[in-house]
Amino acid sequence: MSDKKANEPENLPPAADGGLLDRRLFLKKGLSFGAGAALVGRPFRASADEPPPWMKTPGEPFTNYGVPSPHEKEAIRWISANSAAPGNGISWTPLHKLEGIVTPNGLHFERHHNGVPQIDPHRHRLLIHGLVENPLSFGVNDLLRYPMVSRLCFVECGGNSNAGWHEEPIQTPVGYFHGLASCSEWTGVPLAIILDEAGLRPDARWLVAEGADAAAMNISIPVEKALDDAVLALYQNGERLRPENGYPLRLIVPGWEAVLSVKWLRRLQAATGPVMARNETAKYTELLPSGKARQFTFVMEAKSIITFPSPGRHLHGPGLYQISGLAWSGRGRIKRVEISADGGRSWAEAALQDPVLPQCFTRFRLPWRWNGAPLVLKSRAVDETGYVQPEREALIAERGRHGYFHYNAIVCWAVAADGSVSHTYG
């Protein structure tokens, strides 16, 4: 067979059943992925049409702050507010509308308990007190003088994906199911520097963090984590935090449930024990089948989702496609993502797109030759500690039927013969 024929989609060797191909296919020469025709089997013909109207008149004037194209108006957050409690609710990052690993600031998910405070940065202060030798108080301008670091990491609500506990699979775009997770470059002052300056006493084991919102949301954080990699964030993706993301100061606790990354941070109290606030007793605590309760389950375990194809998207006939998705783990780096196109009987390893960073979104991709037959797609993440994302049945067997938080089971998409995609439990 000639090299040209060997590179035709129908002649490519499979990596697993269901049409999954070798991840290194993207590196092959001679494949016409860029033409569009090879991807979906549709003809593409170049033409020399008349120049479009936007090539005939001057464009729009400069603006002080950019906004998305009006043609991208569907890439927005879906809001789920509590009508009985104004200011209480969530909004979802549209993961199915995004690419790469960075979430635009205006699309970062939100969880508010009592609205978004509009804080004057000149009047906002951070207090460090409790079991410290030198209680300290900082204005925002004081913190801006300190050495800063940047961490590219995800922030994920402990309640993300909790529709997975339902008896029937929810049918909604993937961002409105798993989009209480976002990934940004956070820049600010390492909390360890400030705690060292305050002089933590040896008996200080916890920090109680409190926000300046009208709910005075507070939560307890082990000192070891605070000293390890927590950041007092002032910037997000290069610009100052937005009010909805914690302006002017937010705590970032990489890899741990988002409730610990307290927005509008105003107080850190060093203590011998946790404060036992609502969000570590009535919430974020779950009853197991054994009768014991899971409490202080900080780390977000390894997880992956296929964002293309996914519910709401449509395949336009048999042909060569690129499966794409996101994986992340609070334990460290993603080591491997495997994809199955036959409901889990066989698996092919996906390519991981650089950079692959600890506690960060990792983009994965795999070429796929769909023959038009119905099948089930699923992805499985493995992190550098060896943790393997569990099947849904295994997660329920371990955690029972009363779960609400930390749902990270393997997610399955059913592809029908007409190209439609739906959520299934396999």
The CATH number covering residue 416 comes to 2.60.40.650
CA 165 to CA 72: how far, in whole Å?
32
- Indicate the burial class of 41 (C-beta count within 10 angstroms; 0-12, 13-18, 19 or more): middle
Q: Which amino acid is at 210?
A: E
β-strands 319-328, 334-340: how paired? unpaired
- Confirm whether 392 is domain-assigned: yes
201 within domain boundaries: no
Residues 6 or more apart whose CB falls under 8 angstroms from that of 297 comprise 158, 257, 284, 286, 405, 406
Q: What is the pLDDT of residue 39?
A: 47
Please state, in angstroms and as integers, the Cα–Cα distance from residue 253 to each residue in 145, 331, 360, following that order.
21, 12, 12
Rounded mean pLDDT of 65-85? 92
Distance CA 4, CA 2 (A): 5
Average pLDDT over residues 382-410: 95
Instruction: Classify residue 32: in a domain, yes or no.
Output: no
* Structure confidence at residue 280 (pLDDT): 92
Q: Residue 313 falls within a domain, yes or no? A: yes
- Classify residue 106 as left (phi > 0), alpha (psi -120 to 50) or beta: alpha
Confidence check: pLDDT of 101 > 60 = yes
Residue 3 has pLDDT above 90, yes or no: no
356-377 pLDDT per residue, tens: 999 999 999 999 999 999 999 9
Which range is least confidently modeled, 77-86, 197-206, 232-241? 77-86
For residue 370, is it left (φ>0), alpha (ψ between -120 and 50) or beta? beta
- Stronger pLDDT, 4 or 338, i.e. the higher one: 338
Q: What is the pLDDT of residues 30-52, one digit of tens each?
A: 555 544 444 444 545 556 678 99
Asked whether residue 86 is assigned to any structural domain, the reply reads no
Residue 214 pLDDT greater than 60, yes or no = yes
Give a yes or no: residue 360 inside a domain: yes
- HSE at residue 99, side-chain half, CA atoms within 13 A, is 6
| One-letter amino acid for residue 390 of the chain | P
* Domain contains 123: no
Residue 300: the pLDDT is 98
369 forms bridges with which residues in the sheet?
A: 320
Write out the residue range of the structural domain in which residue 375 sits: 303-424
Q: Which of 22-31, 214-223, 304-313 is predicted least confidently?
A: 22-31
Count of the separate structural domains present in the chain: 1
Structure tokens at 219: 């939560």
350 located within any domain: yes
pLDDT at 34 (0 to 100) = 45
